[in-house]
Amino acid sequence: MASIRDASSSDGAVTAGRPPVLEVVGVGASGVDSLDATCRRLVEEADVVIGGERHLAMLETRPDRRLVPWPSPLLPRLRGLLAELGPQRVVVLASGDPLVSGIGSTLVRELGADAVRIHPGVSSVALARARMGWAAEESDVVTLVGRDLDRLRRDLVPRARLVVLTSGADAPARVASLLVEEGYAGSRLTVLGDLGSPDESRTDGLAASWDGGPAPRLHLVCVECEAHPGRSARSLVPGLGETAYDHDGQLTKRVVRAAALAHLAPQPGDVLWDLGAGAGSVGIEFARQHPRNEVHAVERDPVRAERVRRNARALGVPGLRVVEGASMDAVATLPQPDAVFVGGGASTDLIDACWHALAPGGRLVVHGVTVETEVLLHEARGRLGGSMTRIAVEDLDTIGSLHGWKPARSVVQWSVEKPVPQTDPEDQS
């Protein structure tokens, strides 16, 4: 695809035998009439226009312009299609803003930002906020296009305003059902269809009694979250209560888990290895910190592995990946991590493998409850640095008609950050 990257002047003209960049034009629901003069000229002068059936149907057939539908499957055939088109002027038609859950994001990711020029229209999100009177800073966008519906669970909090991007005529009904299941039956739903077109529609109702019928092909769902008074909120702050998880006792305690996540320090887009996942609590809460976070949970017990999957779905991070097997066998197959948590089964070989794989600036946290593991962690700290903490938690318990403190098993926590190599300033001159 080097030939596509080597494009062209800012006005889209072909430069000396090289193809222009791929022009991606956002079109409103009203069709090409929504385009400004520049975008209309790009479409009119294109040798090839690529798009979905709905977009291509907006254009007249001409002998000097090919209309090409997207190949299926898209990604495996995309580069071949573009290579076949060669140095022709190619325009892609997309809906609204191509970078809002659209084909523009895919093209930039696959081809590089220098190979694609985006001409956004008004996005469906902007139109929805306008219809609802919601400020951008006071509402959030959740995309379920090509994603699991359970993803929505993470964002359900009282008083939240959500613009939910969906697909499928039954999507509003499925959203309403999930809201009821999560204790948000009183939430108000507004389905906005064909935004910006003469056929624009609006349907309002409550999740508990939703019966809006099939949604238009082009629609989204606006949700004003209203929780049942008895529902406990699930904060994104690390340290969910133990009752949030299905577990068999292999669960990192709330206080200890919060301490581990503080050292793992999740940042948007980080990759975590959760080794010896148990019920998956550390990895799940790492994933909940940001939608772009990527978690690979390794658990050798198939029953516990399936439990991790269920917990992840219930807590709104169905994209968490569960690997069944021994941690030492799995690490060679996983992508480079920004953070690693070893909740059980620590060994010198496993620690060294994690340290070697960890990205510079990455964080490693290991827990141990036995004297043997504690000795191992002391040795690792001596080689690699970091800090150690012994965490002892005592919970109030009943003693007959009175109360006393019941201690849990102490946990030794070793945490360390991998140094970032220092660059000599003279080497950059």
Domain ranges of the chain: 2-122, 125-224, 242-417
Task: Give me the CATH code for the 242-417 domain, please.
Answer: 3.40.50.150
For the CA atoms of 322, 323, 327, 329, the dihedral, rounded to the nearest 10 degrees, stands at: -160
- Tokens read off for 295: 């978690």
pLDDT of residue 272: 98
- Tokens read off for 142: 């959740």
pLDDT of residue 74: 87
d(CA 136, CA 392): 44
pLDDT of residue 5: 39
pLDDT of residue 3: 39
Fold of 2-122: Cobalt-precorrin-4 Transmethylase; domain 1 (3.40.1010)
The DSSP element (H or E) to which 224 belongs, if any, is strand 219-224
Give the Å distances, CA to CA, from 115 to 38, 75, 130. 19, 16, 33
Sign of CA dihedral 360, 338, 275, 365: positive
Sign of CA dihedral 20, 83, 104, 60: positive
d(CA 348, CA 361): 21
The C-alpha angle with vertex 231 and arms to 228 and 232, in degrees rounded to 5, equals 145
* pLDDT profile of the chain (429 residues), mean per 10: 41 46 90 89 94 91 92 88 88 93 91 93 95 96 94 95 95 96 96 92 96 90 94 88 91 94 97 96 98 97 97 97 97 97 94 97 97 96 97 94 94 97 67
E-state strands within 330-401: 339-342, 363-368, 387-391, 394-399
User: Contact at 8 Å (CB) between 221 and 213?
Assistant: no
pLDDT of residue 11: 47
The C-alpha angle with vertex 326 and arms to 339 and 389, in degrees rounded to 5, equals 45
Structure letter (DSSP) for residue 261:
H
pLDDT of residue 426: 63
CATH number of this structure's domain 125-224, picked from the four choices 3.40.630.30, 3.30.70.3270, 3.30.950.10, 3.30.450.40: 3.30.950.10
**Own/partner pairs, 43-50, CB within 8 angstroms, 24+ separation:** 43/91, 43/93, 45/89, 46/89, 46/90, 46/91, 47/88, 47/89, 47/90, 48/85, 48/88, 48/89, 48/90, 48/91, 49/90, 49/91, 49/92, 49/93, 50/81, 50/90, 50/91, 50/92, 50/93
* CA distance between the termini of the chain: 32
10 Å Cβ neighbour count for 36?
10
